[in-house]
Amino acid sequence: MKYLPRQCQALLTRLCATFPVTLVVGPRQCGKTTLVRTQLKGHTLIDLERARDYQRVVADIELFLHEQPRGLVIDEAQRCPALFPALRHAVDQQRVPGRFVLLGSAGPPLLNMAAESLAGRIGMLELTPFTVHESATRWPWHTRWWRGGLPPLYPLRSEDARTLWLENYVTAFLERDLPVLGVRVPAPRVRQCWTMLAHLHGQLLNISDLARAMNMSAPAVLHYLDILERAQMIRRLQPYFANVGKRLTKRPKLYLRDTGILHHLAGLRAPHELATWPGRGHSFEGMVIEELITATRLRHSAPQFFFWRTQAGAEVDLLIGLGQRLVPVEIKHGIAVSQYDTEGLRHCMQDLRITQGYMVTRGDERISLGNGIEILPWRDLVAGKVPW
């Protein structure tokens, strides 16, 4: 498949021009190696999954790094924990921006090793699977919605091949990747939890109910959720709290970050099944949330993301924090917008004293609804147009 340009290419260039070490993390098969090979063609690539490369590095790590004064990419870096203190020493000896680029699957060991050994020396880029904006140049957006964003899915021509690939992906993640990431949990239990979460996608997360359904303790379920979240497979969107004199929901909302994996674990096997699936609206909502989070992170430093909901049921799907500014976004799978659809936005904007809010719909026009509420058409997001 021909290389598809990624939105984060400019960020990767900036990080390599600023830090001696750049860490690119993301779920397996999201395109980390392809991105770096394309953008950093002058760098030498070492893959620690290859036995020859691994032995070459571990035989004498400090000597190996010393012989690479600039332009080294180390793939699957989490496979060699001893690499990180050696990198710190090498960087302190010769601090050259862009000297080392590390690639790895997101997980506690990799992030902890990077934070502990390379503090102040490393910049991090979180690579997601294809966004709708990235894939829109080659495929219709609803293909991205159905299949998800993992690049190897797109050359596959049949739904049977798609199902087989995703099943092998899930199995490999549970049985091979988790142990490599330092996670020692039974794969069938994590699979059970992951599958149950697919049916809770877009809903408030009740740990007690989930633990009872799995016949497990609440701490064990929380541990599994932590594993899946740190591996970038799920997102727990936290509620926003403000002193507005109202009772607010305290539980997070749960999303599977890739819609292809969501549909697979939910048992959908063909695109037409999505049209009648009860979770269709929540699936679209989760895809839009991931799209907006990715786009916002590329435009702003340290944004924060929440949802807003009162105990009475008034809700806004996504609340974006940009310093002192809050941007509320409601997401609607349909096209027509009624006064009832904007009720949550109006309550949120009034309570938090926000003057501008947005509603994403599948309509084609950007329309002002008055009172600071504007319709943001889905096609604008597909085209990469975010108004904040």
Model confidence at 248: pLDDT above 80: no
Which is nearest to 127 in space by CA: 306, 257, 285?
A: 257
Confidence of residue 245 (pLDDT cuts 50, 70, 90): low
Q: What are the residue ranges of CATH 3.40.50.300 in the chain? A: 9-126
Question: Quick one: average pLDDT of 168-183?
Answer: 88
122 exposure class (CB count in 10 Å sphere: 0-12, 13-18, 19+):
buried
The confidence score (pLDDT) of residue 342 equals 95
The confidence score (pLDDT) of residue 64 equals 95
Question: Quick one: average pLDDT of 48-54?
Answer: 95
Question: Quick one: average pLDDT of 172-193?
Answer: 88
Give pLDDT tens digits for 231-243: 999 999 999 987 6
Q: What percent of the chain has pLDDT over 90?
A: 82
The confidence score (pLDDT) of residue 299 equals 93
For residues 130 and 9, is the Cβ–Cβ distance under 8 A? no
d(CA 257, CA 197): 11
**How far lies 83's CA from each of 57, 88, 101, 125, 324, in Å?**
8, 9, 12, 19, 40
Model confidence at 107: pLDDT above 80: no
DSSP code at position 204 = E
The confidence score (pLDDT) of residue 171 equals 97
d(CA 152, CA 31): 9
Confidence of residue 87 (pLDDT cuts 50, 70, 90): very high
The confidence score (pLDDT) of residue 221 equals 94
The confidence score (pLDDT) of residue 249 equals 79
Model confidence at 143: pLDDT above 70: yes
Question: Quick one: average pLDDT of 126-133?
Answer: 96
Task: Kindly provide the residue ranges of all beta strands, DSSP E only, lying in 76-192, ordered along the sequence.
Answer: 100-105, 122-126
In the three-class reduction of DSSP (H, G, I as helix; E, B as strand; rest coil), residue 5 is classed as: coil
**Phi then psi for 324, rounded to 5 degrees?**
-85, -5
The confidence score (pLDDT) of residue 242 equals 74
Give pLDDT tens digits for 1-33: 788 999 999 999 999 999 999 999 999 999 999
Model confidence at 144: pLDDT above 90: yes
d(CA 213, CA 78): 34
d(CA 4, CA 290): 19
Confidence of residue 35 (pLDDT cuts 50, 70, 90): very high
Place of tokens 């290389």: 3
Which is nearest to 246 in space by CA: 332, 344, 319?
A: 344
Model confidence at 357: pLDDT above 90: yes
Per CATH, the number for 9-126 is 3.40.50.300
- ∠232-235-236 over CA atoms, to 5°? 140
Give pLDDT tens digits for 52-86: 999 999 999 999 999 887 799 999 998 898 999 99
Range name among 3-12, 112-121, 339-348 with the lowest pLDDT average? 112-121
Question: Quick one: average pLDDT of 79-108?
Answer: 90
Range name among 55-59, 108-112, 196-200, 202-206 with the lowest pLDDT average? 108-112
The confidence score (pLDDT) of residue 68 equals 84
Question: Quick one: average pLDDT of 257-281?
Answer: 97
d(CA 369, CA 7): 31
In the three-class reduction of DSSP (H, G, I as helix; E, B as strand; rest coil), residue 207 is classed as: helix
Q: At what angle do helices 218-230 and 187-198 cross, to 10 degrees?
A: 80
In the three-class reduction of DSSP (H, G, I as helix; E, B as strand; rest coil), residue 290 is classed as: helix
pTM here is 0.94
Model confidence at 321: pLDDT above 80: yes
